[in-house]
Amino acid sequence: EEVRDAGLYHDIWQAFAVLLPVRSVGVMGDKRTYAYPIVLRCVGSEDGMTADWSRLPYDLMERISNR
């Protein structure tokens, strides 16, 4: 949704989210939190045979990370 809103939908060959089976520690307020991280994988390809990671703008990654 955010990739489409940023106008990058047709520039990225594949994009998907992966829920990792490990817990990560973070901070909310004054307390530690333990949650499962989600990794966003975005790749570009010309022919579907080789791929390279897509360079996403920082403002897009910021919007995605705050969801």
pLDDT at 67: 83
How many domains is the chain partitioned into structurally?
A: 1
With respect to residue 66, please indicate whether it lies within any of the assigned structural domains.
Answer: no
With respect to residue 15, please indicate whether it lies within any of the assigned structural domains.
Answer: yes
Domain with 45, as residue range(s), is: 2-59
With respect to residue 8, please indicate whether it lies within any of the assigned structural domains.
Answer: yes
With respect to residue 67, please indicate whether it lies within any of the assigned structural domains.
Answer: no
pLDDT at 66: 87
Say yes or no to pLDDT of 54 above 90. yes
> Which domain CATH number covers 35?
3.30.300.10
Q: What value does the mean pLDDT take over residues 58-64?
A: 94
Task: Tell me the C-alpha distance between 55 and 33, whole Å.
Answer: 30
Per-chain mean pLDDT for the chain: 93
Q: What value does the mean pLDDT take over residues 3-31?
A: 94
